[in-house]
Chains A and B, each alone.
Chain A
Amino acid sequence: MSFLAPGFLIAAAGAALGVVALHFIVTRRPRAVSFPTARFVPDVPVTARARSVHLSDLLLLAVRVLIILLAGAALARPIFPPEREQVVRVIAADVSGSVENVAETRDSVRALFRPGDAIVLFDTATWSVETPDSVRARPGVASNGSLSAGLIGALRAGSRVREGADSVELLVVSPATLGERDRATAAIRAQWPGRGRLVRVSATPSTDSLITPTTQLSFLSASRPRLAVARNRIDTVGAVVAGGHVVIAPFERRWRFVSDSLAHSRVIARWVDGEPAAIEWDSASTCMRSIAVPVDSTGDMLLRPSFAGFRAALARPCLQVGSAPDPEATTMLAATGNLATAAQFPPSMDVDSPLARWLAALAIALAIIDMILRRPRNEESGK
């Protein structure tokens, strides 16, 4: 048996020792009695040492110590770990829109899976399944997956399986396309304390030429961009940013994107105050963009180099579906060194501990017994 939070047990043991110490050094007020000749008793402070410890006191002490220890043990969440394996695997399987065929992912997972392994599925979110047969995509999610999300799920799974293994191996089953990687991916991978392995599956065929966005460069016209609505009050803003290109100019903001539109799209340009200035969304095999940046064509803004970069960033192809494989993914995900040891993972609080509930119930029952044992003493001292 091991404990998920042994600190509570240690704290309970300390508290129990304190209770035992207090029990033996406690001072009690003596019983008050009527005594007609009390005036002849010297009016001096009196201390007296108890000559014996009553059996009921010891019973009370034992009950109290047990209550504390049981409560501490319940909070420490004891578990009976499964039979310990030498190596268990955490399989992070990509079921996002980047995968051409999720069945291929399922087959790969089935081939890799051994009893005791953990399976983490991910697209832009992550969740766990018990068996390879449960590997399937979420309905309605066709966007690129997120390796960062998958790695975070794998780290959590590593904490869950640490009790049943000496070492934990990371397996990532994914096409690992460029679109699935973000700036945090490498840092999150570094959190995994050992080497891993990337098992590539086929990515959705690259159709970059087909997904050149159907861009409506609204900043060249005064018409309302798609999915945008007119602002209640036109205001001005000093700059707009897209793809690292900043255009500084007194823009008049006439449109805004409502939250419903943003829920199913990605922001590709923002005003300097953070408000979305342009968005893109997937539509069948292509992607659509809507840009709500009004530009006065009579000025020189269109001639500035910064605006040219800004415009190029907005016009570049979508990378959402069918992106090219990330050439650095294998190196980045596999890393080097030994397998991660179980002790390198923090204990997981997600593990269910049925024994904790029983211990808590027992502690409550003993607390009731404690009250019953205390009652006669209170009545006696109240006389």
Chain B
Amino acid sequence: MALTLAETAAAAQARQDVCAEVKTLLVERLTLDVDPAVIGDDQPLFGRGLELDSIDTLELAMAVEEKYGVMITDDDTDSLLSLNRLVDHVQANR
């Protein structure tokens, strides 16, 4: 069913809100020395992106589980490729 303009705008706003929440969660729980606002939605979380490591993965998985009740395991590694993927996973499973 097609969304109205208002519904589309509301959905976009809701997604932006979750993105902002997850960025803050990342910075606070992983004690990153970066302003949440400068993290790009498509920025890779690992490697050359935010340079997270495997220990951060567990911390991030537990943080997401606590906040959203959504479990992340290594079956869902695609969800850790970027912030957008992570938010997709949260929104699809919460």
Task: Judge: A and B partners, yes or no.
Answer: no
